[in-house]
Structure 1
Amino acid sequence: MKFLGNVLAVIVGLLVFSVLSFFILAGIIAIASSSDSDVKIKENTVLVLNLNGRTIVERTNDDDIDLSSFGPFGSAPTIGLMNLKTAINTAKDNENVKGIYLRSGMLFAGQSMLEELRNELQAFRNTGKFIIAYDEIYTESAYFLNSVADEVYLNPQGGIEYNGFSSEIIFFKGLFEKLEIEPVVFRVGEFKSAVEPFLLDKMSEENRLQTTSFLNDLNDYAISKVAESRGIAFDSLKVINSKMLVRKNKDALDYGLVDGLWYEDQVRDLIKEKLGLEEDDKINTINVTTINKNAKAKNRLSKNKIAVIIAEGEIVSGKADGVIASESLVQEINKAKNDKDVRAIVLRVNSPGGSALASEVIWRALGEAKKEKPLIASMSELAASGGYYISAPADTIIAQPNTITGSIGIFGLWFNAEGLLKNKMGITTDVVKTGELSDFLSVTRKLTDIEKSIYQETIEDGYDTFISRVAEGRGMSKEEVLQVAGGRVWSGIQAKENGLVDLLGSLEDAIAIAAEKTEVADDFKVVYYPQQKPWFETLLASLGNDVQSRYMKNKFGDLYPVIHQLEGLKKYEGALYRTPFDIVIK
């Protein structure tokens, strides 16, 4: 059996080596064949934005190779918001591009990112060029984006989801009771409900109140934008939305959400007509990656720089990819601070928060950078709890109306696994210690009263620090901050009303304000931190995690979200500045 195991190991090793060699060779070929020269855009060209099945993130590699195409070794298909905006702007300014064909009925993105993308599409339309949208199925979020088009078409057998927003939370109280695991919670703030899934079997009234409030805000805003684009009265559209009156594809046509129930060949004929082509003529098309090779960086020869630092993901300590790792991000902040050509810093935040300690480390670095040059915060989908904490030092905070922010609070979570170990598994423990608290916070027994008081005091100190940081950054008294804290989550609209946000706007607005504060007028170029890794390095880095993730999804199917959230308990260590739960809006 040992011999057989060795043979299998060699075979697996050779297979992995062969696969990696192929990718290395493909990478070399791609690099060799790539060119920095401009791509010539033909006359009467249409930019095709096919975002179906893709998740929009803040930024991807400039070459934007779809790594999902590499089978089980590829990562999930993503596309960068900034890449998309660059493509749309390039198309807007190029006289050979006459329109955009939007195929984006099943994309995955938060409302704030869709808002920024939608505004870019509207600016494109304002030049007199056309946008045609078509798909077989539209999710509600995707329809919000597609509704900006001049004309929207739906497959005759397709459908539209248009029934308002919902956010569902998974509760684990019953599971822990069955396993005899006792969760012990330490928190400050009546709205700090991140721990509710471990203590309750349904939402608390406070959590239901805040979730209802910001969901209604986001939904009303989305309805207002769709109503404006489609020429439908807001009140009428709200009834259509709230009662889900679009139940069949013909309903979408009757209520004015689409312009026709067409097949794709009919839509292509329409595009040909708009381009003045004959029936047998071919439509010249271009995609995001190709058109971006023709994009010109503004003032690329200018010495003046506006640094945009991307902070996306959970906040953790140390160094890591795919999250906001304090050590890694501080290095990027210091690079921008110490570069004499960087005139101002824009922090682009898309985070639910995380480690209180890591948030403090980042806050300190940003505070020091602010002493040297202007600091502007631009909030994306989510800038809550720790995400708000690191935004607080900014001179100006900008959010989108549908950004989710706030959640100024703190919690800590501890589990007593004695019942699971002893009663379910027959495992007992014993301990020898030199001091009364040498086994502080042991998971194999109940906490003592003194342990609870020490931990709770730590949490309360962390909350006081959070309040102080916000008060200092926002020029508010601690009492004023406490009125909007308590762990409560706000929409961008609400956050502006209560003083947590200065302006509603996009990343470009934040960059413009940064430039204004430095008095460089239009003589600046934008540089992004951290520098993007080559696509091949990104692929290698994603192999382990993504293969495991895909295996788990295939194994557990619809139960995967529950398993994934249970696995996420590993993140709940120490004091946390984090959103009340993993907010997923459907």
Structure 2
Amino acid sequence: MREFFKYLFASMLGFFLSIIVVFFICFVIIAAAISSIDDDKTVTVGNNSVLFLNLDQAITERTPKNPFGNLPIVGGEEKDGIGLNDLLKSIKRAKNDDNIKCIYLNVGSPNAGFATMREVRNALIDFKKSHKKILAYSEVYTQGAYYLASVADKLYLNPEGALEFKGFSSELTFFKGTLEKVGVEMQVIRVGNYKSAVEPYILDKMSDYNRKQVTAYVGGLYNTFLTDIAQSRDIQKDSLYSIADNYKIREPKDAVGFKMIDGLKYKDEVLEELKAISGKTKKQSISSVSINDYAKNNGSTGSEKDKIAVIYANGEITGGEGSDNQIGSERISRAIRKARLDDDIKAIVLRVNSPGGSALASDVIWREIVLTKKEKPVIASFGDVAASGGYYIGCAADSIFVQPNTITGSIGVFGIIPNFQNLMTNKLGITFDGVKTGKYADIMATNRPMTAGERFIIQNELNRIYNGFITRVADGRKKTKAYIDSIGGGHVWIGTDAVQIGLADRIGSFNDAINAAAKKANVKEYKVVEYPDVIDPLKSLLEESTDKIKTYYTKQELGDNYLLYQQMKKVIASSGIQARMPFEAVIK
């Protein structure tokens, strides 16, 4: 009888759990459907409206289709995100929209790279040509936030707030000591002294080569940062350097004294000023529209016949389909092919924001660009980063546009083969035995050290891939292989340097690249179309919701240490020859 009740209760529990799971899925689908309907609605903008520009949200390459944004367990950090494409279109449209009186910029800690922020910043500078005002206010400005807000006509800080202005630093984390403690040896094979993605696993500090390039590119980023702020705030760049170097902004009044902000105000005082600008009395409410809602009115413009295709290559490069945040060679190659075969598409802009990844997958995408360039113009636009494999896929373009603070180059390859023998055998007591039909049948096994013969074979394979890499770059950039090798070797460059040494052609924005593509195709009226299609979140719900839930709770548990977890997970999961940026760069 006891067994009967045990099985009965077990069955009942399974039944109720199934009901809960089904209910949850139905709830998410219904919520997503309602949200999707809402997303399709246009937004009415009243007269004398204030455009509320919240730049603390994630700024991605394209606005994600995320109907789960109101469900924190699923939506996570993607909630309220906006794409750079929609952000730039919206600011440009607001410039000539008679209903938009001014912009209220609110930013404290932006979630975007410096090249992306510069795109937004330049769009705001262009908006000011309309003689409409931009007001910025925040309780706290990080350095990135101040970089964006410094374009405002009036820049305000809370009287008890804070302005961070201290210079840049980049800190790398090294795992060599941890790996030794647990008995794991990272067997590294690479081409290029600057290809330092492997260093965190074999060293306990930066190599001289890596320190040299990090110093150069962090200094380059900082130079652009100071130059742009100096122009917007009409302060000498040397003065800004001194302010940061001596940490002179220690309390809010210091920021006023050094003319870095225009005044200390509470939010209610800023709102009163916005009322005055928009022609409202003190008793009237401000008519406002958020940038996310305003972007819903971004419609397609231009000729239906002549089109410029923008192909988004965003994230790490891998084989297969990938996703909106991961470059799958199959999905991106198919998109390039589709654009090439469409006679209405007169030119292509390849928008790259990638630290690289699989060397093989990068070559697959490169091939499609080479074939397409024979039939129509291809212009590459590099975002925050287009390094290693990210540079590989764009190097064949007719022209390459970068921002001064784009991170690019890193022409090199590497492979990491972990050896878990010490961990398994000496720490856990696990041993291995087996048979094989050839000396190299178990090459790249992870339960023993590599032999000299195996290392020789793998090194030769890396040399072959590297030779192919620099050959493709040399052909695309019309340089000699010897020259590309001299600036390659895994060396990371910022955009300004990349133009000087010939890895890129022009400093220019995303829109500059689109205009250049149209000009090269000799079309004046055109419509911009985007590839590949944004993945329908409802279609991938059952496949991705579990991963999103796991990611959400892992981030909640680990907090700032989530980046370390990602780095360890990434290196363990990496397979095949990698053409990746040498490190995860975090600028503070």
Fold shared, TM-score > 0.5 on shorter chain: yes
| Counterpart pick for 1:232 among 228, 231, 235 | 235
One-letter amino acid matched to 1:572:
S
The CA deviation string for residues 318-375 of structure 1, in whole angstroms up to 9 with x for no partner, is: 1121200101111111110111111011000000000011011111111111111111
Cα offset, 1:65, TM superposition: 5.7
Please name the residue that 1:258 is paired with.
Answer: 261
The structure-2 alpha-carbon separation of the partners of 1:393 and 1:5, relative to structure 1 and needing over 3 Å to count, comes to: farther
| Counterpart pick for 2:569 among 547, 567, 570 | 567
The structure-2 alpha-carbon separation of the partners of 1:135 and 1:7, relative to structure 1 and needing over 3 Å to count, comes to: farther
Please name the residue that 1:72 is paired with.
Answer: 73
DSSP 3-state at the match of 1:83 = helix
Please name the residue that 1:480 is paired with.
Answer: 483
Please name the residue that 1:375 is paired with.
Answer: 378
DSSP 3-state at the match of 1:577 = strand
Please name the residue that 1:17 is paired with.
Answer: 22
Conservation of the 8 A alpha-carbon contact between 1:90 and 1:292: no
Instruction: State which drifts further: 105-114 or 569-578.
Output: 569-578
Instruction: State which drifts further: 251-260 or 534-543.
Output: 534-543
Alignment of 1:48-197 (within 5 A): 48-52=52-56, 54-61=57-64, 67-77=68-78, 78-197=81-200
The structure-2 alpha-carbon separation of the partners of 1:535 and 1:121, relative to structure 1 and needing over 3 Å to count, comes to: farther
Cα offset, 1:534, TM superposition: 4.2
Cα offset, 1:87, TM superposition: 1.4
One-letter amino acid matched to 1:56:
I
Q: 1 CA distance for matches of 2:209 and 2:70?
A: 44
Matched, 1:435 2:438: yes
Q: 1 CA distance for matches of 2:265 and 2:556?
A: 35
The CA deviation string for residues 135-165 of structure 1, in whole angstroms up to 9 with x for no partner, is: 1111111110111111111111211111112
Conservation of the 8 A alpha-carbon contact between 1:125 and 1:131: yes
| Counterpart pick for 1:546 among 548, 552, 556 | 548
Conservation of the 8 A alpha-carbon contact between 1:189 and 1:485: yes
DSSP 3-state at the match of 1:43 = coil
DSSP 3-state at the match of 1:527 = strand
| Counterpart pick for 1:203 among 189, 203, 206 | 206
Alignment of 1:336-351 (within 5 A): 336-351=339-354
| Counterpart pick for 1:555 among 557, 565, 584 | 557
Identity of aligned pairs, percent? Answer: 43
Please name the residue that 2:273 is paired with.
Answer: 270
DSSP 3-state at the match of 1:567 = helix
Q: 1 CA distance for matches of 2:10 and 2:180?
A: 42
DSSP 3-state at the match of 2:70 = helix
Conservation of the 8 A alpha-carbon contact between 2:114 and 2:405: yes
Conservation of the 8 A alpha-carbon contact between 1:83 and 1:288: no
Conservation of the 8 A alpha-carbon contact between 2:387 and 2:581: yes
Cα offset, 1:516, TM superposition: 0.7
The structure-2 alpha-carbon separation of the partners of 1:66 and 1:286, relative to structure 1 and needing over 3 Å to count, comes to: farther
One-letter amino acid matched to 2:209:
E
The structure-2 alpha-carbon separation of the partners of 1:579 and 1:10, relative to structure 1 and needing over 3 Å to count, comes to: same
Please name the residue that 1:496 is paired with.
Answer: 499
Q: 1 CA distance for matches of 2:537 and 2:567?
A: 29
Q: 1 CA distance for matches of 2:416 and 2:503?
A: 27
Q: 1 CA distance for matches of 2:455 and 2:553?
A: 40
Q: 1 CA distance for matches of 2:25 and 2:301?
A: 38
One-letter amino acid matched to 1:76:
E
Q: 2 CA distance for matches of 1:259 and 1:27?
A: 43
Conservation of the 8 A alpha-carbon contact between 1:74 and 1:542: no
Instruction: State which drifts further: 375-384 or 74-83.
Output: 74-83
Q: 1 CA distance for matches of 2:155 and 2:415?
A: 48
Cα offset, 1:180, TM superposition: 1.4
Please name the residue that 1:319 is paired with.
Answer: 321
Q: 1 CA distance for matches of 2:337 and 2:131?
A: 44
The structure-2 alpha-carbon separation of the partners of 1:310 and 1:3, relative to structure 1 and needing over 3 Å to count, comes to: farther
The structure-2 alpha-carbon separation of the partners of 1:429 and 1:104, relative to structure 1 and needing over 3 Å to count, comes to: same
Cα offset, 1:295, TM superposition: 3.0
Cα offset, 1:290, TM superposition: 2.7
Cα offset, 1:6, TM superposition: 4.1
The CA deviation string for residues 257-283 of structure 1, in whole angstroms up to 9 with x for no partner, is: 111111110000011111232111111
Please name the residue that 1:446 is paired with.
Answer: 449
The structure-2 alpha-carbon separation of the partners of 1:5 and 1:569, relative to structure 1 and needing over 3 Å to count, comes to: farther
Cα offset, 1:515, TM superposition: 0.5
One-letter amino acid matched to 2:16:
I
Cα offset, 1:383, TM superposition: 0.2
Cα offset, 1:55, TM superposition: 1.6
Cα offset, 1:30, TM superposition: 4.2
Q: Normalization by structure 1: what TM-score?
A: 0.96
DSSP 3-state at the match of 2:197 = coil
Q: 1 CA distance for matches of 2:254 and 2:17?
A: 55
Q: 2 CA distance for matches of 1:146 and 1:34?
A: 28
| 5+ residue gaps, structure 2 | 1-5
Please name the residue that 1:309 is paired with.
Answer: 311
Conservation of the 8 A alpha-carbon contact between 2:108 and 2:140: yes
Please name the residue that 2:3 is paired with.
Answer: none
Cα offset, 1:387, TM superposition: 0.4
Conservation of the 8 A alpha-carbon contact between 2:32 and 2:67: no
One-letter amino acid matched to 2:309:
A
Q: 2 CA distance for matches of 1:98 and 1:166?
A: 39
One-letter amino acid matched to 2:449:
K
Conservation of the 8 A alpha-carbon contact between 2:33 and 2:67: no
Cα offset, 1:532, TM superposition: 2.1
Q: 2 CA distance for matches of 1:534 and 1:27?
A: 11
Q: 2 CA distance for matches of 1:560 and 1:24?
A: 29
Instruction: State which drifts further: 231-240 or 347-356.
Output: 231-240
Please name the residue that 1:47 is paired with.
Answer: 51
Please name the residue that 2:532 is paired with.
Answer: 530
Q: 2 CA distance for matches of 1:10 and 1:116?
A: 53
The structure-2 alpha-carbon separation of the partners of 1:561 and 1:7, relative to structure 1 and needing over 3 Å to count, comes to: farther
Instruction: State which drifts further: 335-344 or 248-257.
Output: 248-257
Q: 2 CA distance for matches of 1:31 and 1:377?
A: 32
Conservation of the 8 A alpha-carbon contact between 1:153 and 1:259: yes
Please name the residue that 1:393 is paired with.
Answer: 396
Conservation of the 8 A alpha-carbon contact between 2:35 and 2:67: no
One-letter amino acid matched to 1:364:
R
Q: 1 CA distance for matches of 2:540 and 2:289?
A: 25
Conservation of the 8 A alpha-carbon contact between 1:90 and 1:291: no
DSSP 3-state at the match of 1:372 = coil
The structure-2 alpha-carbon separation of the partners of 1:539 and 1:150, relative to structure 1 and needing over 3 Å to count, comes to: farther
Q: 2 CA distance for matches of 1:134 and 1:7?
A: 56
DSSP 3-state at the match of 1:162 = coil
The CA deviation string for residues 416-442 of structure 1, in whole angstroms up to 9 with x for no partner, is: 111111100001111211111112122
Please name the residue that 1:585 is paired with.
Answer: 587
Conservation of the 8 A alpha-carbon contact between 1:67 and 1:76: no
Q: 1 CA distance for matches of 2:97 and 2:517?
A: 28
The structure-2 alpha-carbon separation of the partners of 1:153 and 1:518, relative to structure 1 and needing over 3 Å to count, comes to: same
Cα offset, 1:538, TM superposition: 6.6
Alignment of 1:498-513 (within 5 A): 498-513=501-516
One-letter amino acid matched to 2:27:
F
The structure-2 alpha-carbon separation of the partners of 1:185 and 1:2, relative to structure 1 and needing over 3 Å to count, comes to: farther
Q: Normalization by structure 2: what TM-score?
A: 0.95
DSSP 3-state at the match of 1:171 = coil
Matched, 1:456 2:459: yes
